[in-house]
Amino acid sequence: MSVTDTTRPISQEPETAIDDSASFHVAAPKKSNPLKVGLPPIMFGGLVIGFWYFVSYGLLEDRRRFLLRPPHQVIQKGFLDWAVFSEILTALWSSTKVAIIGLVLAIAIGMALAIIMSQAKTAERAIFPYMVTLQAIPILAVVPLISLWFGFGQMARVVVCVIIALFPIIVNTLFGLQSAEKGAHDLFSLHQASRMTRLRKLMFPAALPAIFAGLRISAGLSVIGAVVGDFFFGRGAVGIGQRINRYAANLQGEQLLAAVIMTAALGVTVFWTFGWIQSRVIGKWHDSSS
């Protein structure tokens, strides 16, 4: 008697064949089109110049046109006249030195205070309210004190720059130092890392994007501080703020606008310089810079 095997083989799904000849292409990163990058600001600049001409010739009468001279007259008298342009450049260089000194001091003081506050909550509670108070005090209110303590020369202008540029550095640096992940802190605690090691290898690298954000803000504010200091303290080398004040008093509209444009160009240059430094320092490893 034969036993019939009723067991049936389990059917298997046919494996999908992979074509060895198939080629996989990785999409290359898109290159930025110079036309798309440069055309929008050029078009917007053209609109601004067109509106400038419209206000100068369409809205202002001849006797009031000194309030806003047309662009070609500003270029002719403010930039192409070397006697005027050279004195603007000399004054701008004087204000640039004040802004750089004030920014360096603000960076040193601000980062030192932020590091101290990041290491102890007690220090943060003690120092931070006074930094907010210093930021809220109008510069005009402390000008008499600054003049009594530091005189009316370059040092007083540097102090104004420090006061104006200090707060963003403190706030952004402190935020960045406190933004390191808790899991990374636990790992450093597991390895019994010292405070200095934790600060140098964990907190400071994590804080770099926020630090550079504060530096870019304070860089522009330092230029403003240098110009504001020129208005209040007139002794020593003539700054761009003093030139602006003199041009406004003499109703020299072309020279006034040229000085304002050069001051704005200085602020933009300083801002972009720190942006370039940021891209070189953290551009290869941090997502926020992409």
Q: Check whether residue 62 and residue 79 sit in a common domain.
A: no
Q: Name the helix (H) or strand (E) containing 271.
A: helix 253-282
Same domain, 249 and 264: yes
Structure tokens given for 236 = 């020593």
Q: Is residue 20 part of a domain?
A: no
Q: Does one domain contain both 45 and 186?
A: no
d(CA 201, CA 208): 12
Please tell me whether residues 115 and 228 are part of one structural domain.
yes
Backbone angles phi, psi at 43, to 5 degrees: -65, -45
> Is 18 inside a domain boundary?
no
Of 48, 68, 88, which residue sits at a domain end? 68
Question: Which of 68, 87, 117 is the last residue before a domain boundary?
Answer: 68
Do 182 and 280 share a structural domain?
Answer: yes
Count of domains observed in the chain:
2
Structure-token pair, residue 234: 């007139």
107 lies in the same domain as 202: yes
| pLDDT for the residue numbered 166 | 92
Same domain, 47 and 146: no
For every one of its 290 residues, what pLDDT tens digit does the chain have, with 9 covering 90 and above? Answer: 444 444 444 444 444 444 444 444 444 455 667 777 778 888 888 898 889 888 888 888 777 777 788 888 889 888 988 988 999 999 999 999 999 999 999 999 999 999 999 888 898 899 889 888 888 888 888 888 888 888 888 888 999 999 999 999 999 999 988 887 777 777 777 777 777 887 777 888 888 888 999 999 999 899 998 898 888 887 777 888 889 988 888 888 889 999 999 999 998 898 888 888 888 887 655 554 44
Last residue of a domain, one of 68, 83, 113: 68
Question: Within this chain, do residues 110 and 231 fall inside the same structural domain, yes or no?
Answer: yes
Could you tell me if 157 and 270 lie in one domain?
yes
Residues 90 and 139 in one domain: yes
Q: Are 257 and 74 in contact (CB under 8 A)?
A: yes
Q: Is residue 7 part of a domain?
A: no
Residue 16 included in any domain:
no
Are 114 and 104 in the same domain?
Answer: yes
The C-alpha R_g of the chain, in whole angstroms, comes to 30
Sign of CA dihedral 93, 94, 98, 104: positive
Same domain, 58 and 97: no
CB 228 within 8 A of CB 283: no
Domain containing 59 equals 36-68
